[in-house]
Structure 1
Amino acid sequence: MGGKYRITGDKYPRMRPPRRRGRLVVVVVACGAVLGVGGWGTLQLIDVFTGGGGTASAAGSKAGCTTKASPAAAASPAVLPAPAQITVNVFNATTRGGLAKTTADELKKRGFKIGQVGNASNEYDKKVPGAGVLLGPAASLNTSLPVLATQLTTAERRTDAARTGPAIDLIIGNAFTALTAQPEATRALTALTAPHPAATATTKKHC
């Protein structure tokens, strides 16, 4: 080349297009975003098919969850004795004669065992204003006393810790007219001794 300028030496500049670093950065960021979204979607699918983020236990509950059992219904009451297993002493605390014997005979027809029959002791004689008093040992409170009470539903129930033996007393009071009618007493006895099914406990999970 002529003129004012000359190229000297054996090395010549190479004509290359300028590098586009911005485009490269955009491509890298886009690829990273695609990979991230794909990985997140995969984790969600795994979570759906495995039942959640916790590790399932052998019982099927998730780790990190607490299981609370609701209380079951109250247990069935203790088995009550049958009338044939209950010995009843019948005492008359009124001024009317013959009540102890007639009442004892009726209770015997209804299946109860009869023990002593006679007048009430001084502690109760002419001192029972109601229909009667059912008196037994402490152990009879929820066993034999409720069974006998089905035969005279208006009677008062009492226990005496000093009493020994399983027999219970029926002390006839001034308001007594007769035992509860047998059909009604039988229904009450059936309802009292009927078994009650135990309720099933339920569980709740809190995660």
Structure 2
Amino acid sequence: MSMLTPPGMGGQYRITGGKYPRMRPPRRRGRLVAVAVASVAVLGLLGWGVLQLVDVFTGGTKATAAGRTADCRTKAAAAPAARTESLPAPGRITVNVYNATPRAGLAKKTADELKKRGFRIGTVGNAPKQYDKKVKAPGLLLGSPAAQDTSLRVLGTQLTGALTRADARSRADVDLIIGDAFTGLAARPAVTRTPASPEPAPSVRKGC
């Protein structure tokens, strides 16, 4: 009987030979896979960092900044143009001039001056009864609701302090009713400053 055979384990269960069985620890394949994945991730991050540094030193950041600046300039230039196109020129506006004061000749004189400034002139005369001697402001501008932000906005630059109201008309013409506080139309330098851009310059958004 071999010395490797435990007592009572003879017969067919007897162990023969002169070598001990080799005992190997189980392979930890899961740990090896995790280490490999982590190594690949670290190498990827390092590569990305190198590419970013190369981009910075070769001017990639400058190109991006230049593109952003050009885009902002384009948008800023387009905004005033859109506002200018939305307002009609004086030559496309027909103005009816009425005098609501006791002073004679104001309607004709004012209409002549508006004509020199490019406006079309419609009816000229005394104000209707509902407004006659009832306008205390320098003037009252009347027009359809659609004219409030177009024709009346342009006409309003000609008379400082004028009131603006909408009425039920559907026509495109507008009325200028001269009131008690009227002393004359706005000076020409003030008129040429607008009407194309009565709004302040657009604010530049962050990042531009």
TM-score per shorter chain, which class? 0.5 to 0.7
Residue 39 (structure 1) aligned with residue 37 (structure 2): yes
Q: Which residue of 2 aligns with 1:126?
A: 133
Residue 186 (structure 1) aligned with residue 192 (structure 2): yes
Structure 2 stretches of 5 or more lacking a match?
1-13, 49-74
Tell me how far 1:154 sits from its aligned partner. 1.0
2:97 to 55, 80, 90: 90
> 1:45-194 to 2 correspondence within 5 Å?
76-77=82-83, 79-161=86-168, 163-192=169-198
More helix by share: 2
TM-score (norm 2): 0.65
**Which amino acid in structure 2 is aligned with residue 14 of structure 1?**
G
**Which amino acid in structure 2 is aligned with residue 16 of structure 1?**
K
Q: How many pairs are equivalent?
A: 161
**Partners in 1 of 2:17 and 2:111 — Cα distance?**
132
Greater relative contact order structure (CA < 8 Å, 6+ sep): 1
TM-score (norm 1): 0.65
Residue 16 (structure 1) aligned with residue 19 (structure 2): yes
CA contact 1:79–1:193 (8 Å) conserved in 2: no
Q: Identical aligned pairs, as a percentage?
A: 48
Structure 1 stretches of 5 or more lacking a match?
1-10, 51-71, 203-207
